[in-house]
Amino acid sequence: MEFDLYSKATGAKINRQKSEILCLGTGTLSVVEKGHIGLIVCEDCFQLLGVFIGKNRKMCDKMNWKNKIVKIKSLLNIWLLRRLTIHDRVSVINSLMLSRFWYALFVTALPEWAYIEIKRFCLNFIWKNRCHLVKYNCIVDDKSRGGLNVADIKCKIYAFRLKFLGRLLDDEYEVLWKYTFKYFVSSIYDMKLCHNVFYTVIPNCELKKLPVVYQEFFQAPNCIRKKIEFPLSVENIYDQPLFVNPNIVLNSRTIVWHDFIGAGIVCLKDICFEVKTGFLPDHAIVEMIQVVYEDVNVQYVVDRYRNLLNVIPVEWKNTVNTDIHRISIPRTIDISIICKNVHYDLKLCSTKTLYTIMLENIVEKPVGIEFWKSEFDVSSEAFSKIWEHVNMYWKPSNLVELDFKVLHNCIFTNVKL
């Protein structure tokens, strides 16, 4: 038997009482096979390294998150009995509560109902089940800018996904999940783009074909698209997708032409000569489509092809007209992310840096600052110094909380009431 052969070859022995087997896809095991294998057959889901995985997604989500949420709720109710300041309660949330979720979030998706529930009870704990005095988009910011450093779950998830994306594009990082990712991504519009798909902006309706974790692989860079740059070599330019590419826009919209895709015309190299520079003539494109589709409106194909050539960036057209596409040259996709005017290579970015970049998209300036500016003519530069004084380490925690509320202008006075 294969298991016995494996044990003899490696010296590892399978614990048949604890091991389970799960059939993937449409595969099934007969009664004879079950008896021959001698392992517990799992039908829905099982636990692997602390995370439940399996074919029943709803059951996996419930097993992964329901128990964690119940435990943390009970713990927060106990912590509410203690006399803590707002900064102390934030420390409890970040250090003791949300940290329990990070491992599971790193490897699996968070369902929407769990995200809403976690965010709700964490914010209620911070504000002691009372009115939320400061906007959420303010308190997630750094203390030096008027925030409380509350960890944002969505930004954390996207930072994890960007970290995985960096590993995906790193050729030296060889793991099995890269091949499963390529398998699922190839189904997007049937373009079979592999890693080149990250040059595109895929609409959510098409992303739903992918597992949720892979959907987040695309949603994360889309959230910071303005802060992402793609350094392009000649080979990268030839590999550029023609469809759903934000650099190729016709009538203010990206294009998707299924007859072109069905004929294998997907990337820029597909409409170029192979052994010399320049673009293919109109009749060549028509012939390629006619091989797949018999009834073709020739003039319609020609008009679209000419429109496509017109909207291709000038830099790419210059490259096609001057440089030949070389298939044998190895190519990599490099992504540069801008954070505070500094360029970072995605493959080398830490999760902390990626989280900071994601956070910049959602943070807002405190509203109370405008009030104090109008009252005392205080400059924006002066407020950075004031926030430093608010959070001085030697100050008692209750005074830090008081100063925080005063600067945010969220203390109910007689004037407000």
Residue that finishes a domain, picked among 289, 307, 332 = 332
What does the pLDDT read at residue 145?
87
Residue 377 has φ and ψ, to the nearest 5°, of 55, 55
Collapse the DSSP code of 54 into the 3-class scheme (helix H, G, I; strand E, B; otherwise coil) and give the result: strand
Nearest to 86 by CA among 413, 367, 403: 403
What does the pLDDT read at residue 146?
87
Nearest to 309 by CA among 321, 301, 320, 317: 317
Q: Which has the minimum average pLDDT: 324-328, 397-401, 409-413? A: 409-413
pLDDT tens, 160-190? 999 988 888 888 888 888 888 888 888 888 8
In this predicted model, which residue has the larger pLDDT, 382 or 392? Answer: 392
- Highest average pLDDT, of 19-28, 125-134, 328-337, 382-391, comes from 125-134
Domain extent for 275: 231-332
Collapse the DSSP code of 141 into the 3-class scheme (helix H, G, I; strand E, B; otherwise coil) and give the result: coil
240 domain-assigned: yes
Type of residue at 14: I
pLDDT tens, 299-312? 999 999 999 999 99
Nearest to 366 by CA among 82, 127, 143: 143
CA 64, 121, 79 angle in degrees (round to 5)?
A: 100
In this predicted model, which residue has the larger pLDDT, 201 or 7? Answer: 201
| 337-354 average pLDDT score | 86
Structure tokens at 173: 């990082």
pLDDT at 417 over 70: no
Structure tokens at 167: 């590993």
pLDDT at 415 over 60: no
Collapse the DSSP code of 22 into the 3-class scheme (helix H, G, I; strand E, B; otherwise coil) and give the result: strand
409 domain-assigned: no
- Highest average pLDDT, of 5-19, 184-198, 240-254, comes from 240-254
213 domain-assigned: no
CB 371 within 8 Å of CB 410 = no
104 domain-assigned: no
pLDDT at 100 over 70: yes
358 domain-assigned: no
Residue 332 has φ and ψ, to the nearest 5°, of -130, 155
> Binning pLDDT at 50, 70 and 90, where does residue 155 land?
very high
Nearest to 354 by CA among 147, 216, 197, 241: 216
What does the pLDDT read at residue 40?
73
Nearest to 410 by CA among 86, 82, 81: 86
Residue 168 burial (10 A CB sphere; 0-12, 13-18, 19+) = buried
362 domain-assigned: no
pLDDT at 129 over 50: yes
Q: What is the DSSP string of 188-250?
A: GGG---GGGGGGS---HHHHTTS-HHHHHHHHHHHHTGGGEE----HHHHHT-BSSS-TTSEE
Structure tokens at 58: 């709803």
**Averaged pLDDT score across all residues of the chain:** 86
> Binning pLDDT at 50, 70 and 90, where does residue 398 land?
confident
What does the pLDDT read at residue 412?
65
357 Cβ neighbours under 8 A, 6+ residues apart: 159, 224, 227, 337, 338, 339
The Cα–Cα gap between 227 and 160 comes to 17
Residue 388 has φ and ψ, to the nearest 5°, of -65, -40
pLDDT at 151 over 80: yes
What does the pLDDT read at residue 34?
67
| 194-199 average pLDDT score | 87
Alpha helices in 111-152 (DSSP H): 112-126, 136-139
Q: Which has the minimum average pLDDT: 20-24, 205-209, 302-306, 357-361? A: 20-24
Structure tokens at 66: 């329901």
Distances, alpha carbon 172 to alpha carbons 162, 166, 167, 193, 214, in Å: 17, 11, 9, 20, 21
310 domain-assigned: yes
Structural domains counted in the chain: 2
192 domain-assigned: no
What does the pLDDT read at residue 256?
93
pLDDT at 207 over 90: no
The β-bridge partners of 212 are none
Largest CA distance in the chain: 84
| 340-351 average pLDDT score | 86
| 10-20 average pLDDT score | 76
Q: Which long-range contacts link 278-281 to residues 24+ away (Cβ below 8 Å)?
A: 278/320, 278/321, 279/309, 279/317, 279/320
The Cα–Cα gap between 146 and 408 comes to 8
Residues of the chain above pLDDT 90, percent: 33
What does the pLDDT read at residue 414?
55
324 Cα distance to chain centroid: 35
